[in-house]
Structure 1
Amino acid sequence: MYYVKNERNGQEIHNPEINLAIEYYLLNEKHFDEPIVFFYINDDSIIVGKNQNTYEEVNIDYVEENNVKVVRRFSGGGAVYHDLGVLNFCFITKDDGKSFRNFKRFTQPIIDALHDMGVEGAELKGRNDLMINDQKFSGNAMYTSHGRMTAHGTLMLDSQIDAVVGALRPKKHKLESKGIKSVRSRVTNIKPFLDEQYQNINTKEFREMILLHLFEVERLEDVKEYVLTDEDWEEIDKFAEKYTANWKWNYGESPKFDLERSERFSVGTIEVKLNVEKGKISEIKIFGDFFGKGEISDVEERLTGIDYNAQSIRQALEKLDINHYIGDVAIDELVQLIY
């Protein structure tokens, strides 16, 4: 396994637009003979899932007043808050056809490291959350591209929980499905649960402890490392300009739709917005925090122009591999949601 630092000219980068660009570059362009692990710490920011509607996930007023960056990632899942008290980890490896949506494979090494540091209650619960006493300290997501995949997540060591509460706008039925009343009651930091010897640790020192555990070494000098070159940075900058630092990619258009429906399924929240003209679907957008391999635009295109009735919607969906695009959800459930 190779460890990649997000350093440029000897300076660590905390800009989420650049850090997410590095991650995508490593996934698509750097094909090593071993997996890659990449860590980064971002300034105040919200990272939204690929298929989410930014305007409905983010408290825009809070973001603008507090200079919080908003960046869209290439993986599914929900929006997460980053600050200097959050360590973000990323594993990049070959897509073996069995690991996508298998969050345990990639989070267990992190959980084991936390157990070694005294966080005995850390565990993977539900679909993709790491929890302590039923409070979330890590959200995880996945993305696959050209036979390779990334599994990444957050680790709230010492985050500003008030900022998390102020910046995000979780769906009401998402909170209800977890039996909780607020974001504040749902999340926790890791630091209070660490052994006494780690109570004064900062995020960078925390990262070092995780690294030593992952590589099973006692010194950072013994960690196998790849250093980004000038050629790497040139491509990373191009990608950031096109995507992660681009307003249209991060926010996109949010047109007004006539019909809006949202439901919570086992695969996550699915939200549908559509316009119907003369009995046909003239425009449709599908949002959500589900994890799909394919582009959700393929599903939208299949549904656009068809008659707005249950039979036509079902026939259109049956021509697609819904598991590939959304996950294990029944066609009838989607038909009921849309119609």
Structure 2
Amino acid sequence: MIFIHNEGITDPSINLALEEYALRNFDGATNYLLFYINEPSIIIGRNQNTLEEINHEYIEEHDIHVVRRRSGGGAVYHDLGNLNFSFMTRYEHGNLHNFKKFTDPVIRVLNDMGVEGELSGRNDIVVNGRKISGNAQFSTGKRMLSHGTLLLDSDLDEVTNALNVKMSKIQSKGHKSIRSRVANINEFLDEPLSIEEFRELLLKGLYRDRDEFETYHLTEQEWEDVHALRDERYSNWDWNYGKSPKFNIQRNRRFDIGEIDLRLDVEKGYIENLKIYGDFFGKEPVEELADQFVGLRYHPDDLEQALASVDVQDYFGDLPQDEFLNLLYGADE
């Protein structure tokens, strides 16, 4: 495994561009590890409606970055007290959605520090029931990444200030506030660490049982390519916010795989537009699925027929076909 040095950059749009660039362009037979620390920012999941996830006035007032990532899952808050890690490997069917494979090495290092972490739910690392890390994944088909946060010394009040936390998510976890569910790793250490000290301890721990590892520094041309990708995608308003049209039908439900939020424009009984939002994880982009319904009658027979040739698990993970059809048209819960 080769460690990619990000040269201390804290701009989230560049770091996310670097992550995608490395995934798509570096040696496909080699595993890579990337660390990065971001300035205060909200990182939006690939399938989410940005305007409904953020406290827009607050982030404008406090100059907080808003950047959409390529992976699914929910919105997260980053700041200089949070360390992000990213494992990049060859895509294998058994690895996608297998968060345990990629979080176990991190948890082992935390345990060695005296922090008793464990994987909980779909994709969280928790200590004493409090979340210190959220994780997400993305696949290009040949390659995949599994990345996550590690809250060391973040301003946890900013999590609720910057994000609009949906009641469905709070209620589904049985807690009254997001602030009570998250914690900083420093809270569980005898002596608090700086983010730089924590980064070095984690890096050494992840390579503890390996031969001397290689650190890779990008060439000047590679950095130019990373900045070009940043300009094309991660600093682009259309990518980060997109157009948020008004919809005349909204259907929303929380499943074991996450929340799915459907917005439909139906004109004279036909679907003119369908947008799918949520914090689920899927291999394929949900836009491909949504496009298959445009132009159809908004009728269960037509919708069921369109779904007959589709495997919804490619888009949402382990979700039965009939449950998605029921959300699309069935009785509200």
TM interval, shorter chain, is: over 0.9
Offset of residue 170 of structure 1: 2.2
Q: Any idea what SS the aligned residue of 2:19 has?
A: helix
Give 2:197's aligned residue.
Answer: 205
Select the residue among 128, 139, 143 that pairs with 1:144: 139
**Letter paired with 1:4:** I
Preserved CA contact (<8 Å) 1:104 1:124? yes
Offset of residue 32 of structure 1: 5.2
CA distance in 1, matches of 2:289, 2:238: 21
**Letter paired with 1:70:** V
Offset of residue 147 of structure 1: 0.4
Cα deviation digits, residues 102-128 of structure 1 (max 9, x gap): 0000000000000000112x1100100
Unaligned segments of structure 2, at least 5 residues = none
The correspondence of residues 1-339 of structure 1 with structure 2, limited to 5 A, is: 1-7=1-7, 12-31=8-27, 33-120=29-116, 122-194=117-189, 196=190, 199-216=191-208, 222-339=212-329
Preserved CA contact (<8 Å) 2:257 2:317? yes
Offset of residue 223 of structure 1: 3.6
Extract structure 1 runs of 4+ deviating beyond 4 A. none
CA distance in 1, matches of 2:203, 2:209: 9
CA distance in 1, matches of 2:319, 2:293: 17
**Letter paired with 1:191:** N
Tell me the number of residue pairs that the alignment of Structure 1 and Structure 2 aligns: 329
**Letter paired with 1:338:** L
Q: Any idea what SS the aligned residue of 1:243 has?
A: helix
Offset of residue 218 of structure 1: 11
**Letter paired with 2:196:** K
Preserved CA contact (<8 Å) 1:314 1:331? no
Unaligned segments of structure 1, at least 5 residues = none
Q: Any idea what SS the aligned residue of 2:263 has?
A: strand
Preserved CA contact (<8 Å) 1:28 1:146? no
Q: Any idea what SS the aligned residue of 1:188 has?
A: coil
CA distance in 2, matches of 1:335, 1:145: 27
CA distance in 2, matches of 1:27, 1:160: 30
CA distance in 1, matches of 2:317, 2:209: 38
Offset of residue 217 of structure 1: 6.7
Matched residues, percent identical? 47
TM-score, normalised via structure 1 length:
0.95
